[in-house]
Amino acid sequence: MNPLKIDHIGIAVNSIEESLKFYEALGLKCEGIEEVAEQKVKVAFLPCGDSELELLESTDPEGPVAKFIEKKGTGIQHIAIRVSNIEEAIAEMKEKGFQMIDEKPRYGAGGASIAFVHPKSSGGVLLELSQRD
Ligand code: ZN
């Protein structure tokens, strides 16, 4: 595997609009909001240097982000590492005996190909592998 950088940090929020007041006060700018229907989530992108913050607002009480907030409250939900080849990264993690949530790459916000590693395999961190071309 070839980990390139922290691609983004995903932060679960109740309201993107409300949260932007804080993040914009830090000088960050929202460069777009995308709804990812499959994940029942709205994502706001806030670039910060070479990486970015993603604010995640659930669009459905049954969605993964709503469930996360219900269990743990708002806050950091996942960390994404950019890899050069997502298919290879998944195969390598499985080969090394780690459990993947996604055994095949799927669509991620911003047009990335992503796959989540199971928190059981990572000591409780929801880790996303992400490839952008
Ligand atoms: Zn993400």
DSSP state of 133: -
DSSP state of 14: S
Residue 123's SS3 state is: coil
Q: How far does residue 97's CA lie from ligand 1's centre (Å)?
A: 23
pLDDT band at 104 (very low <50, low <70, confident <90, very high): very high
**Letter string b/e over residues 81-97, b meaning 16 or more CB atoms within 10 A of that residue's CB:** bbbeebeebbeebeeee
Q: How far does residue 95's CA lie from ligand 1's centre (Å)?
A: 23
The whole-chain average pLDDT of the chain stands at: 96
pLDDT at 110: 86
Q: How many CB atoms lie within 10 A of CB 98?
A: 15
Q: How far does residue 101's CA lie from ligand 1's centre (Å)?
A: 14
pLDDT band at 120 (very low <50, low <70, confident <90, very high): very high
pLDDT band at 112 (very low <50, low <70, confident <90, very high): very high
State mean pLDDT over 53-69: 97
Q: How far does residue 57's CA lie from ligand 1's centre (Å)?
A: 12
